[in-house]
Amino acid sequence: MNRHQDSTPRNSKAAASAPRAGRLGPEKPEGPDRHGDAAVEEARPKVKRPPMFKVMMLNDDYTPMDFVVEVLETFFRMDREQATRVMLTVHTRGKAVCGVYPQDIAETKAAQVVDYAREHQHPLMCQVERA
Ligand code: TYC
Whether ligand 1 lies within 6 angstroms of the CB of 57 is answered as: yes
Give the separation between CA 52 and CA 131, rounded to whole angstroms.
5
Contact yes or no for 109/101 (Cβ under 8 A)? yes
Could you tell me which residue, 13 or 77, shows the higher pLDDT? 77
Return the ligand 1 atom nearest residue 64 CA: 13
pLDDT in tens, 45-100: 888 999 999 999 999 999 999 999 999 999 999 999 999 999 999 999 999 999 99
Cα 128 to ligand 1 centre (Å)? 18
The average pLDDT across 12-19 equals: 38
29-46: string of b/e by CB count within 10 Å (b at 16+)? eeeeeebeeeeeeeeeee
91 lines ligand 1 (CB under 6 A): yes
The model's pTM is 0.70
pLDDT of amino acid 41: 75
**pLDDT for 16-48, tens place per residue?**
333 444 444 444 444 444 455 666 677 888 889
pLDDT of residue 122 exceeding 60, the answer is yes
Q: Is the sign of the CA dihedral 19, 23, 29, 31 positive or negative? A: negative
State residue 43's pLDDT score. 81
